[in-house]
Amino acid sequence: MKRLMCVWLITVVASRVLAAEVWEYRVSSALFGTLGKVTMREERTGKQYHITAVAETRGIAATLTRHRKYRAESRGIVGTQRRHSRYYLYEVVDHKKHKRDEYRIDPKAKKVIKTSQRWKKGKPEKKEQHRLDYYTDRDLASLFYDLVTAPTAIRSGEYPAVGAEKSHGRVRIELPDARSAQKERERLQASPQSRILYILIDQKGGKQRKIIAAVTPQGRLESAYTVAVPVVGVLYMKPR
């Protein structure tokens, strides 16, 4: 009887878990070749979602950054129109330093609590916690998936996002005109049906990072590139 109940429980749980969709990309430049890889995946259990994105440096990029690795994670609830985040993590690790920022999102109190931790050579250097001066239940990872998986719903404008404090909590999305979009498709070698979007994120010193992305009608990132990357110039991301 216990074995039967165990089998039944496993069957019920498995029926509510959708197979994780995994996207893998190669990051490269024309001058230095392969510089890294990016792996993104989303799992669904009932109305719960779990997004993870990992970027690992390779080649000269790994040498220059002490084999740096980036990781983002988002957990929350899938709504009727978009994802509603409850937890967001952004982590950067190399052979010398470790940076970890965690965000806990409270929709009832309309607040986001950020906990930052820093380590150097394995030893803790700093830990602090504070409340963000803005509220949203969307983070950078969930916003990215919302945009990519529903390309027909993308509109130009500013989108609030946890993790975007340097740009006052907002990410700007722009849709180019038809002529500019076609030029970007040719540069990215993207399909004629793909939709082009510009993702603009403010950085230190008043600078702005511009990411040009091609999204398929089926809701998948086809390819992307960004310009003005120090040392390497243009950085491309394409399926592996």
pLDDT given for residue 230 in this prediction = 67
pLDDT at 19: 57
Q: Say whether pLDDT at 64 is over 50.
A: yes
pLDDT tens across 75-111, in order? 999 999 999 999 999 999 999 999 999 999 999 999 9
Confirm whether 98 is domain-assigned: yes
Residue 13 inside a domain? The answer is no
- Give the model confidence (pLDDT) of 216-236 as tens digits: 999 999 999 998 666 667 899
Distance (Å, rounded) from C-alpha 168 to C-alpha 153?
24
Flag whether 12 is in a domain: no
Question: By residue range, what is the domain housing residue 185?
Answer: 18-239
Specify the number of domains making up the chain. Answer: 1
pLDDT at residue 11 above 70? no
User: Which pLDDT score is estimated for 1?
Assistant: 39
The predicted-structure confidence for 118-164, as pLDDT tens digits, reads as follows 999 999 999 999 999 999 999 999 999 999 999 989 999 999 999 99
Residue 121 lies in a domain: yes
Is residue 196's pLDDT more than 60? yes
Residue 2 lies in a domain: no
- Exposure string over 197-224, b if 16+ CB within 10 A, otherwise e: bbbebbeeeeeeeebbbbbbeeeebbbb
Is it the case that residue 41 has pLDDT exceeding 70? yes
Q: Could you tell me if residue 40 is inside a domain?
A: yes
Mean pLDDT of the chain: 89
Rounded distance between C-alpha atoms, residue 200 and residue 185, angstroms: 18
CA distance 41 to 147: 15
Residue 73, in any domain of the structure: yes
pLDDT at 211: 94
153 within a domain of the structure (yes/no) = yes
